[in-house]
Structure 1
Amino acid sequence: MSTDQWTISRSKVVYGLDRNDLHFLDIDEKGDLLLRIGDHTISFKEIAKLVEKQNGNSAGYTSSFTLRIPQLITYQMKKLKAAFAQAIEKTDYKGEFNAVYPVKVNQRYDCVMPVLASDPNYGLEAGTKAELFLIKSVTEEEKHRLIICNGAKDPEYLQSIKQCVEEGYNLTVSVESLHEAKMIVELLDPDKSTIVLRIKPYLMVRGHWSHSAGRDSKFGLSIHDLFDVIELLKENGFTNSVTTILGHVGSQITAMDDFLKFSKFMTRIYYEVREMGLTSVKTIDFGGGLPIDYTSSHPPDLMNQYADALLEGILSELDEIGGDIEHPNILTESGRGITALGSAVVVKALEVRSVFPSSGQKISQERQQERDRCISEMRETTSVAELLELWNEFHSQHGHSTGSVKDLLENEYLIGDVRREVRRQLARISTPGIRPEKLVESIWHPDYLAIGNFSVFNAACDYVLVNQHFPIVPIQDLHVRPETTVRLVDITCDSDGELSQFHRKGTGEIWWSRDYRPLTMRTDDMGQGIPVGYLKNVQGSYFVIALTGAYQDVIEADHNLLGDLPDVEIIVTEDGEWKIKWTAGAQKMEDLLADAGYVGFDIDEDPYMSD
């Protein structure tokens, strides 16, 4: 593919923009990355300039920042409700749909309040005593909102629940063990209590968090405990207090047939607990699991498929049971699917470092002859296997230098030149079905490091913890065929401080960068290296790490005493005016040291790099 054939449409495919859960990112004709909300756009270049212009002298200013986008939280909430409304209408479903937001996903005030502001009937879920107090404070004037109390419970937690009910909050408490059930019947009033039976889903699903379901799950009642708990509740006057059954199969479930199985399982439980006398059970709470499309590779109607799968499972199971059974109301506890879009980390590239010396340098005649011989032989190869055999042979001879520093330098010139030629020849002879095996990936591995003014551990810690992929996009030069790929590394003193994963989209054929690294593959594949348009423009520019609004704020780590980046909120008014609000500067070194037990400092500066 020649450079002339490159289009902005191709760049959108490469980075997964303007579709699915990156629908809010677009590219203008100049190749600049845009934030899109509704019909309005603004470039990230302009956002960065405005942030610096308005707040460059503010305490805690540093060049990178977290961009809060509350209107995208609203968008996701409306999208979820619309998906269920459509599913209910087309199936003539008789039950109602409602949703709660589990605050554990992001307890920040600037995340929870947009949820409440977006829908007067949206509920909240607490998993701890502290989260219950958080929810109580933000719903004090809206006590009609449903509050679900999950998590491990002690008498103090249950007393807090009891007090909330007495104060008029619409609160329901889950039972997750026989021990909890005994405390509940002892401490709570059956006439004033609403109870959820949280049940282990006895099935297997796919995904990183699949262990949230099945016999070994840490959550919910085992099937033998379920019968004992029901008897205990009935014996103590709580028969009519139980209104809901709850199951949770894990986070980020992308296989919709797993939701179908889950729905059928929960519907069978719904029917049978009602047959056991709990006729006040009218709701199935399906917990979380609604996925985010971090790779822009799933169907665009994933949320609709999710709603359809749950309803299909209910209706098919009820049909199989037979009889005139009341359709249950549906409740979900989606968190990631609601707030992931709500923030992005905008990272300034401080410098670019090269792994290899630049080509064209003068080397010894012996090495020059070796270089020319290797390159000549590689240009004659007719298969990938033959080419890789030559590379292996060369690398076994020159991969490790034991001579002087000058000898090492010349050797690096030689290896860099030959490696560049291997990439070129791979692009020439590779078939669409070339497999990115370990050796091939090592040849495609980026030669450049972009040093970002951030900490992976603070901004996107899930990458380190569970290898969670986050889409990363440079903010400029997106109109040209990428010159090369780079590794985005942070300023921590830790080798894990790097975000270099890049999801190569399946395009049927490989699209190559100008230095012959794959930008796409025949089928979807996860590789290394973020494509950049012009390498010379990377230093001083920015990368956007998208979809960080779920979990990253609450599991962050202050590794190397690098704390929070500045927070910047952006909204667009109905008339298209963009409003950028500086809400907090970067965390001060004084506060970070105090958190570690070192007091008495008077340091206003943050620990990030200054310009």
Structure 2
Amino acid sequence: RPGLGALLRHRRQLLHRGGARRRASRCCLGCLGIDYDGTHSAQTDMSVAYSLEEYVAAVVAGVGRVCDRKGVQHPVICSESGRAVVSHHSVLIFEAFSATAPASNMMDPATAYLLDELTDDCRSDYRNLMVSAVRGDFDTYGLYADQLKRHCAEQFKEGVLGLEHLAAVDGLCEIVARGMGAAEGPRRYHINLSVFTSLPDMWAIEQLFPIIPIQRLQERPAVDGVLSDLTCDSDGKVDQFIGGRSSLPLHELPTHGTRGYYLGMFLGGAYQEALGGLHNLFGGPSVVRVSQSDGPHCERGFMVWSREDKSISCSKSSHGVQVEVWFGQVLQVWD
């Protein structure tokens, strides 16, 4: 409110000096926030500590006080709060079609065979790691685990070890850590989505949007998961959620392929799709428009009707940016 008052006083002084005393003058304001996390708190950037009524009262009262003090007629007040106006108008629905398997506490023969192929210095770290684990010394185990991974990564760059050896070492360290009582990390759910196309603010400015499952609501979620999209970008993931969580409570995926597992992202409004454009040439989601209209045959005073617009395919996206024809043919096969 102090900032609003100072801004209005400065604006009124400029208008008064210029002789602008007509009622037709406009006072344009914005900055209406959105309660993304539902806390109604000023302690986080994802919420607001005021209601719409309080916002309007503060703005109108502030304008009135400044105008009365300066003897200027009250203006017509216009509020440009685009995000707040359109944030509730849409829901992004997407499918999680696969997930990483639950972690195993047993080492498979293939992993043991790859560990036997490590170089002498890596195998020395391996032995020291296991000795620390047997003693229950978690701190020393962590040091040898980091050292083992670092040595293996260096030898991978030199061409001595392969990618499968790095995977075997990571698997070994996870199994040993869980055996020592470390909590299992979140599982990765693969979603039919491009974060850069549909959720660009999540990546660019770390904006958080409410994301929840929209089915199986009668079942308690039993899995902590993070979301990973289908693009080749390593940043195409969602691992920060409302409430400061680094994982999202989810359900186990269906074991048969006839049913999907769908989640919804809320309060995205109109800006996410407009900002994302055709990043990754991934196309975009299909759009279902739901409208409300009054009429004599409408039940309870309104009628809902919907219309579906098919998504832009990958091949159309490539043609839109003049990609070569042969590449478009490959994408047609993908579509």
Superposed pair shares fold, TM > 0.5: yes
1:377 aligns with 2:140: no
Query: CA 1:368/1:475 → structure 2, altered by over 3 Å: closer, same or farther?
Result: farther
Q: CA deviation at 1:454?
A: 1.7
Q: Counterparts in 2 of 1:138-177, with a 5 A limit?
A: none
| Number of equivalenced pairs | 299
Given that residues 91 and 266 in structure 2 are in contact (C-alpha distance below 8 angstroms), is that contact kept between their aligned partners in structure 1? yes
Given that residues 22 and 73 in structure 2 are in contact (C-alpha distance below 8 angstroms), is that contact kept between their aligned partners in structure 1? no
Pick one of 465, 483, 486 that aligns with 2:222: 483
Q: Counterparts in 2 of 1:329-408, with a 5 A limit?
A: 329-354=76-101, 358-361=104-107, 374=133, 377=136, 389-390=139-140, 392-400=142-150, 401=152, 408=166
Q: CA deviation at 1:569?
A: 2.2
Q: CA deviation at 1:271?
A: 4.8
Given that residues 129 and 145 in structure 2 are in contact (C-alpha distance below 8 angstroms), is that contact kept between their aligned partners in structure 1? no
1:541 aligns with 2:299: no
Q: CA deviation at 1:410?
A: 5.0
Q: CA deviation at 1:406?
A: 7.4
Q: Aligned partners of 1:407 and 1:597: how far apart in 2?
A: 41
* Deviation by residue 1:163-213 (Cα, 9 ceiling, x = unmatched): xxxxxxxxxxxxxxxxxxxxxxxxxxxxxxxxxxxxxxxxxxxxxxxxxxx
Query: CA 1:416/1:302 → structure 2, altered by over 3 Å: closer, same or farther?
Result: farther
Q: Aligned partners of 1:609 and 1:337: how far apart in 2?
A: 38
SS in 1 for 2:271: coil
Query: CA 1:347/1:318 → structure 2, altered by over 3 Å: closer, same or farther?
Result: same
Pick one of 445, 452, 455 that aligns with 2:194: 455
Q: CA deviation at 1:324?
A: 5.2
Q: Counterparts in 2 of 1:543-558, with a 5 A limit?
A: 543-558=263-278
Q: State the partner residue of 1:594.
A: 319
Q: Aligned partners of 1:553 and 1:445: how far apart in 2?
A: 31
Given that residues 391 and 422 in structure 1 are in contact (C-alpha distance below 8 angstroms), is that contact kept between their aligned partners in structure 2? no
* Deviation by residue 1:77-98 (Cα, 9 ceiling, x = unmatched): xxxxxxxxxxxxxxxxxxxxxx
Q: Aligned partners of 1:464 and 1:457: how far apart in 2?
A: 7
Given that residues 589 and 604 in structure 1 are in contact (C-alpha distance below 8 angstroms), is that contact kept between their aligned partners in structure 2? no
Q: CA deviation at 1:466?
A: 2.7
Q: CA deviation at 1:336?
A: 0.5
Given that residues 23 and 76 in structure 2 are in contact (C-alpha distance below 8 angstroms), is that contact kept between their aligned partners in structure 1? no
Q: State the partner residue of 2:59.
A: 310
Given that residues 484 and 535 in structure 1 are in contact (C-alpha distance below 8 angstroms), is that contact kept between their aligned partners in structure 2? no
Q: CA deviation at 1:419?
A: 3.9
Higher relative contact order (CA 8 A, sep 6+): 1
Query: CA 1:404/1:597 → structure 2, altered by over 3 Å: closer, same or farther?
Result: closer
Unaligned runs of 5+ in 1: 1-256, 379-386, 426-443, 505-524
Q: Which moved more, 1:340-349 or 1:557-566?
A: 557-566
Pick one of 519, 529, 533 that aligns with 2:247: 529
Q: CA deviation at 1:349?
A: 1.4
* Deviation by residue 1:304-337 (Cα, 9 ceiling, x = unmatched): 3322332343355457xx4755333321011100
SS in 1 for 2:241: strand
* Deviation by residue 1:39-89 (Cα, 9 ceiling, x = unmatched): xxxxxxxxxxxxxxxxxxxxxxxxxxxxxxxxxxxxxxxxxxxxxxxxxxx
Given that residues 489 and 498 in structure 1 are in contact (C-alpha distance below 8 angstroms), is that contact kept between their aligned partners in structure 2? yes
Given that residues 470 and 545 in structure 1 are in contact (C-alpha distance below 8 angstroms), is that contact kept between their aligned partners in structure 2? yes
Q: Counterparts in 2 of 1:81-92, with a 5 A limit?
A: none
Q: State the partner residue of 1:464.
A: 203
Q: CA deviation at 1:491?
A: 1.6
Q: Aligned partners of 1:420 and 1:349: how far apart in 2?
A: 27
Q: State the partner residue of 2:290.
A: 570
SS in 2 for 1:554: helix
1:270 aligns with 2:12: yes
SS in 2 for 1:494: coil
Code of the residue aligned with 1:297 in structure 2: it is: T
* Deviation by residue 1:452-472 (Cα, 9 ceiling, x = unmatched): 112222212222333322222
Query: CA 1:574/1:528 → structure 2, altered by over 3 Å: closer, same or farther?
Result: farther
Q: State the partner residue of 2:120.
A: none
Q: Aligned partners of 1:454 and 1:348: how far apart in 2?
A: 8
Q: Aligned partners of 2:268 and 2:333: how far apart in 1?
A: 20
TM-score of the two chains, using structure 1 as the length reference: 0.41
- Once superposed, what is the RMSD of the aligned Cα atoms? 4.2
Q: State the partner residue of 1:172.
A: none
Given that residues 568 and 581 in structure 1 are in contact (C-alpha distance below 8 angstroms), is that contact kept between their aligned partners in structure 2? yes
SS in 1 for 2:208: coil
Unaligned runs of 5+ in 2: 42-48, 113-122, 156-160, 293-297
Q: Aligned partners of 1:343 and 1:331: how far apart in 2?
A: 24
Query: CA 1:359/1:335 → structure 2, altered by over 3 Å: closer, same or farther?
Result: same
Given that residues 288 and 309 in structure 2 are in contact (C-alpha distance below 8 angstroms), is that contact kept between their aligned partners in structure 1? yes
SS in 2 for 1:568: strand
Q: State the partner residue of 2:295.
A: none
Q: Aligned partners of 1:571 and 1:421: how far apart in 2?
A: 55
Q: State the partner residue of 2:118.
A: none
Code of the residue aligned with 2:105 in structure 1: it is: S
Q: Aligned partners of 2:73 and 2:256: how far apart in 1?
A: 60
Query: CA 1:470/1:391 → structure 2, altered by over 3 Å: closer, same or farther?
Result: farther
* Deviation by residue 1:86-123 (Cα, 9 ceiling, x = unmatched): xxxxxxxxxxxxxxxxxxxxxxxxxxxxxxxxxxxxxx
Q: Aligned partners of 2:223 and 2:147: how far apart in 1?
A: 27
Q: Aligned partners of 1:310 and 1:334: how far apart in 2?
A: 13
